[in-house]
């Protein structure tokens, strides 16, 4: 069935018309289709300046209307910051005011064609997100296997989010499976014939993601809830047909389609779909493959050593709470120390650090994060053998000597155990 724009359209109920106007504005604000091209030269300026304008408006609306927090914390690793909630309020308020203005200036009571294209936008947006998250899971890049520092952290010290992250990252096959389902949802949504099935799969996937985020306090609650709702919006567009087929046992008609009348329009649609596939499937696949299997900078010449080291001696005028109990050097230029010293990046009662290594000067410069240009402190090191490291230097102007011994620390979780036959519940 296709739309014929020359035929008088049926009149929508008033509530239906108002809901469409509100939803159309809100969805456009949330999905920001003008920002999808953010990686393309010149075109990315559209998204950049739109983002700056939106940020200013959100802050002004919060200062004079919402008052969520005096100073909004911008979106960072968390999507549920005070700015995120102020942005949500701003979108809702703008959609309400915009729908009222729209209703005053536009007296039409039918938006069949506009609704169809809005659902196309939602379909591609949900597909874009499902594909982006699914592809990195295929290569095990979103949730990584617990590092040695994580394995050395007591379970009770982990926060719920980190526990859930390690739960998924521990099993590469499970993460691949979850990513494959997301990719499947995205691929099904790209085609009109399979879009309803894709919406079912997407709703199932994002329901699981949303519940996981709420139950494990993962700060992507707002975003995942929107993805679940948008997936169901796609299903609602087919609600009558689905009810007839699954509930009422009635015959149902094919979903209505808009057939583009001009050849150049049809060609443009195909071109845009090909561009979408290249930008949001081809390039992410290639990038993820490079990250997973391409060359890395963590060569042996750039790191000191790897492994779990106990602290045999710690000499220095340092408070007991700040003394080092053990040190872990990861298989890259990072590590952690069991210490309460806030000089390091504290997480789960361990101090995390990055370092730069100079094999000629026999020095190691400790940094709080890899992006820091200045070191927290620099220490001389000696290695009598591969299992012993001695560090000497100044920490907070106090001379410190630390003697480390490598331990054959055994973590059963790192063995990735699996048994077809289990005679007992372990």
Q: Give the model confidence (pLDDT) of 151-166 as tens digits.
A: 999 999 999 999 999 9
How many helices and strands (H and E) does the chain possess? 12, 9
Average pLDDT score over residue span 304-325: 93
Ramachandran assignment for 338, one of left (phi > 0), alpha (psi -120 to 50 degrees), beta (any other): beta
- Residue 9 binned pLDDT confidence (cut-offs 50, 70, 90): low
305-335 core/surface letters (b: 16 or more CB in 10 A; e: else): bebbbebeebebebeeebbbebbbbbebbbb
Q: Give the model confidence (pLDDT) of 55-84 as tens digits.
A: 999 999 999 999 999 999 999 989 999 999
Task: Answer whether 9's CB lies under 8 Å from 256's CB.
Answer: no
Lowest mean pLDDT of 40-44, 145-149, 223-227, 272-276, name the range. 40-44
Q: Give the model confidence (pLDDT) of 367-426 as tens digits.
A: 999 889 899 999 999 999 999 999 999 999 899 999 999 999 888 888 877 888 888 877
Q: Which of 143, 234, 150, 222 is nearest to 186 (CA)?
A: 234
CATH number at 300-409: 2.40.128.20
- Residue 5 binned pLDDT confidence (cut-offs 50, 70, 90): very low
Helix boundaries (H) for 263-371:
263-277, 283-293
Domain map of the chain by residue range?
9-110, 114-294, 300-409
Place of tokens 């992250």: 165
The HSE-up count of residue 421 (CA atoms within 13 Å, CB side) is 0
Task: Answer whether 367's CB lies under 8 Å from 375's CB.
Answer: yes
R_g (Cα) of the chain, nearest Å: 28
Q: Give the model confidence (pLDDT) of 340-356 as tens digits.
A: 999 999 999 999 999 99
CA distance 344 to 323: 12
DSSP for residue 253: P
What's the mean per-residue pLDDT of the chain?
91
CA distance 354 to 372: 9
């Amino acid at each position: 069935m296709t739309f014929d724009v020359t035929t008088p359209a049926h009149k929508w109920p008033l509530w239906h018309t108002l809901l469409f106007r509100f939803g159309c504005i809100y969805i456009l604000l949330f999905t920001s289709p003008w920002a999808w091209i953010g990686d393309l030269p010149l075109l990315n300026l559209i998204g950049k300046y739109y983002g700056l304008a939106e940020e200013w408006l959100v802050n002004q609306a919060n200062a004079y209307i919402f008052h969520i927090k005096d100073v909004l914390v911008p979106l960072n690793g968390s999507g549920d910051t005070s700015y995120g909630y102020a942005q949500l309020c701003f979108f809702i308020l703008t959609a309400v005011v915009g729908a009222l203005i729209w209703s005053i200036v536009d007296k039409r009571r039918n938006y069949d064609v506009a609704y169809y294209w809005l659902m196309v936008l939602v379909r591609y947006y949900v597909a874009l997100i499902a594909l982006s998250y699914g592809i990195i899971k295929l290569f095990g890049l979103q949730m990584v296997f617990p590092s040695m520092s994580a394995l050395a952290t007591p379970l009770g010290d982990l926060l719920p989010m980190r526990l859930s992250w390690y739960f998924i990252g521990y099993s590469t096959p499970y993460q691949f499976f979850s990513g494959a389902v997301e990719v499947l949802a995205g691929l099904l949504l790209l085609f009109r014939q399979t879009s309803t099935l894709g919406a079912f799969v997407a709703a199932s996937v994002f329901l699981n993601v949303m519940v996981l985020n709420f139950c494990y306090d993962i700060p992507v609650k707002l975003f995942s809830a929107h993805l679940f709702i948008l997936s169901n919006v796609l299903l609602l567009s087919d609600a009558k047909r689905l009810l007839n087929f699954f509930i009422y046992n009635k015959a149902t008609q094919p979903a209505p389609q808009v057939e583009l009348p001009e050849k150049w329009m049809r060609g443009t649609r195909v071109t845009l779909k090909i561009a979408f596939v290249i930008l949001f499937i081809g390039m992410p696949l290639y990038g993820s493959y490079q990250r997973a299997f391409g060359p890395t900078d963590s060569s042996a010449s750039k790191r000191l050593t790897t492994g779990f080291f106990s602290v045999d001696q710690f000499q220095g005028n340092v408070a007991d709470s700040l003394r080092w109990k053990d040190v872990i050097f990861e298989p890259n230029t990072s590590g952690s120390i069991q210490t309460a010293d806030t000089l390091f990046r504290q997480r789960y009662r361990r101090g995390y650090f990055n370092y730069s290594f100079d094999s000629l000067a026999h020095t190691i410069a400790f940094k709080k994060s890899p992006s820091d240009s200045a070191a927290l402190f620099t220490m001389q090191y000696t290695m009598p053998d591969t299992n012993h490291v001695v560090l000497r230097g100044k920490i907070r102007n106090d001379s410190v000597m630390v003697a480390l011994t490598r331990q054959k620390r055994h973590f059963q979780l790192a063995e990735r155990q699996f048994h077809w036959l289990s005679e007992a519940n372990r």
